[in-house]
Structure 1
Amino acid sequence: MALQLEEEENFGCAMQLVFSSVLSMSMQSAIELGVFDIIAKAGPGANLSSSEIAAHIGSGTRDSEAPMMLDRILRLLASYSILSCSVVANEEDGSDSQRLYSLGPVSKYFVTNEDGGSFGVEHVGGDMFASVPSGDAILLKWILHNWSDQHCLKLLENCYNAIPDNGKVIIVEALLPVMPETSTAVKSTSLLDVLMLSQNRGGKERSREEFMTLATGAGFSGIKYECFFSSFCVMEIFK
């Protein structure tokens, strides 16, 4: 019995991989339709049916089948715990049940941030491979993973020359372990790594050892790993 259950689980996993693109397409549709924002604007703890959500989307959902089609997308998202779902009796006739959807812990990352971006960091334009403006601290957030090791070395060398002896370069990047892991953090970073492979020549996610090699290769004496969130890390390199 246990062997059969394991085999069924493995088969189900294989099926998910075959149809995995459907999840990303459904997520894109939900985001473009504003589903997460609609539920959020309904208030904390709001539970909405697909008909109620469709009514807020606009003229494009006047098709009588729109709520049903939307419900099928929302049901998929709920099966991945992106949305939460409950089943209640249909208040209109008291017979058929209907699904109500609410925001789950993952959903908040797809709700529009009304505060917008932060203005606490000065953004300076220019060619960072030619020169970097001087400063006590330089922030490189999601920059190095776009570039090859050779480009990163050139950039970090320019940063080295732009800071004083007591200055530092702050790097925000994901960290990949040497041995592949099955955690959600490593899975997401591995996906990002392959995205870099397909989009940016030489771009990649790196391990601790690779960041240390880049830092010392550019002339820095060491690296500190200051803060972690999921697979992302705030690092400081110094002279």
Structure 2
Amino acid sequence: MASHDQEAFLTAMQIVNSSAVDGVLICLIELNVFDIMMQKAGMDGYLHPDEIALNLPTKNPQAPEMLDRMLRILASHSIIKCKLVKKMSGNALLTRAYGLTLISQYFVNAQDGPCLAPYLKLIHHKQMQNSWEKVNEAVLEGGYAFNKAHAGSTFFEYLGKDKSVAELLSQTMAKSIPTSMNILLKSYKGFEGVKEVVDVGGAYAATLSCIISFNPHVKGINFDVPHVIKNAPSLPGITHVGGDMFESVPRGEAIVLQRVLHDWTDEESVKILKKCYEAIPDHGKVVIIEMIQTEMPEDDIIAKNISEMDIRMLLYTPGGKERTVNEFLMLGKQAGFPSSKYICGADLYGVVELYKKK
């Protein structure tokens, strides 16, 4: 064994225990603790665990102490803030009070803006977690972890059977997409000369809504499977259409694939792209918006997010993955597009355009 390094050992130990953080997060989200903190103290104030417990449906006298321990670990990771306050009763002279930060605001359930609570609930759902039990089997024997954990059903087949998982996925997309998309659309100007945009796999039209907010002249078609489309909200400038992208895609001047190809194998991605090729005019284009993997692993926060999402794809999808720019360009070529180009990247997303004509 290499020589002992205490800092390396402590880092390894923290990695082993790191699941405690997201475990606490999901518990506090389900208890609506972040919502209570927002309602009672806002972004600037603090609440003592006793005050939080008073707003929970509990008579457990240990609840404040348990909450304190759960909030304390989040404060140690700078997810929430903490300050010491004088205690008027009891044995301790000082006690802790906690407040929201720019990070923890994204775990408040009842807010109109971006929220990661549905995503955390989704990945902690029992039917998602049990894929981990089948990863090694998939590595050694082939196949896909989610399929093995669900009697052969793919993730997308399972969504049609389990409304709770399907709804969490739709909420995740609706609540998490706009933040990064709005940042991207400040740099990407590829819709300025386009009259009609089709969003393939658009769920509740979060991406299309962002596109139209930056390009109000655009007429939007939101295309997804029927069981998703039937719950999609009515939105100005957007028509919802149900169908199967492996069979056909609505015609449009530009077709958007936002976070779609990462769900599928290369072979299936080429099939999707071929259907898109058929649906655009000669001057049309396909706009791929995806997380872009680097050729070499990097340790910045965006690269880490992308690599972690890639593992989610390994867990849940039938062969999906995050790809490099060159891999997207190759998919376009295999689907028959004679010309393609990486346009730009911002925040988590990058844009690759595929053209029907050179």
Range into which the TM-score falls when normalised by the shorter chain: 0.7 to 0.9
Change (3 A) 1:82 1:201: same
* 2:93 corresponding residue in structure 1: 96
1:83 aligns with 2:83: no
Runs of 5+ consecutive residues of structure 1 not aligned to the other structure = none
Contact kept in structure 2, 1:227 and 1:235, CA below 8 Å: no
Give deviations 1:35-74, integer Å, cap 9, x for gaps. Answer: 2222222323021111222222x32x32011111111111
AA matched with 1:123: N
Residue type matched to 2:31 in 1?
L
Q: Structure 1 residues 132 and 80 mapped into 2: Cα distance closer, same or farther (>3 Å)?
A: same
Q: TM-score, normalising length from structure 1?
A: 0.87
- Could you say which residue in structure 1 is the equivalent of 2:167? none
Structure 1 Cα separation of the partners of residues 267 and 86 of structure 2:
62
* CA distance, structure 2, for counterparts of residue 190 and residue 158 of structure 1: 29
Q: Give the one of 278, 292, 310 matched to 1:161.
A: 278
> Which amino acid counterpart does residue 196 of structure 1 have in structure 2?
M
- Give the corresponding residue for 2:105: 108
Report the alpha carbon displacement of residue 91 of structure 1 after superposing the two structures with TM.
4.3
Distance 1:45 1:94, change over 3 A: farther
Q: % of aligned pairs identical? A: 41
Instruction: Give the 3 Å change call, closer, same or farther, for CA 94–70 of structure 1 in structure 2.
Output: closer
Q: State how far apart, in whole Å, the 1-side matches of 2:331 and 2:12 are.
A: 38
Structure 2 length as normaliser, TM-score?
0.60
- Provide the residue aligned with 2:342 in structure 1: 224
Match of 2:71 among 74, 90, 95: 74
Task: Quote the Cα distance in structure 1 between the aligned partners of 2:325 and 2:317.
Answer: 21
Indicate conservation of the 8 Å contact 2:332/2:340, yes or no.
yes
**In the aligned structure 1, how far is the partner of 2:352 from the partner of 2:52?**
42
State the shift of 1:95 in Å.
5.4
**1:41 aligned residue (34, 39, 42):** 39
| Partners of 2:289 and 2:350 within 8 A in 1 | yes
Relative contact order (alpha carbons < 8 A, sep ≥ 6): 1 or 2 greater?
1
Question: 1:185: Cα distance to partner?
Answer: 1.8
User: Which deviates more from structure 2 when the two are superposed, residues 113-122 or residues 220-229?
Assistant: 113-122
Instruction: Tell me what 2:62 maps to.
Output: 65
Within 5 A, what are the aligned runs for 1:1-239?
7-42=5-40, 43-56=42-55, 58-59=56-57, 61-92=58-89, 96-112=93-109, 113-114=111-112, 117=174, 118=206, 120=209, 122-124=221-223, 125-220=242-337, 221-229=339-347, 231-239=348-356
CA distance in 2, matches of 1:218, 1:154: 7
Residue correspondences, number:
232
Relative distance call for 1:71 and 1:225 in structure 2 (3 A) is: farther
Closer, same or farther: CA 92–140 of 1 in aligned 2, 3 Å:
farther
* Letter in structure 1 aligned against 2:43: P
The residue type equivalent to 1:219 in the other structure is G
Aligned AA (1:108): Q
8 A contact 1:222–1:238 mirrored in 2: yes
Separation of aligned partners in 1, 2:343 and 2:10 = 39
Q: Secondary structure at the match of 2:257?
A: strand
Alpha-carbon RMSD across the aligned residues, in angstroms, is 2.3
Q: Is the 8 A contact 1:139 1:169 kept in 2?
A: yes
Q: Which moved more, 1:153-162 or 1:187-196?
A: 187-196
Query: What is the identity, as a one-letter code, of the residue corresponding to 1:224?
Result: Y
Distance in 2, matches of 1:52 and 1:201, equals 46
- How many angstroms does 1:21 deviate by? 1.8
Give structure 2 stretches of 5+ with no counterpart: 115-173, 175-205, 210-219, 224-241
Report the residue type matching 1:12 in the other structure: L
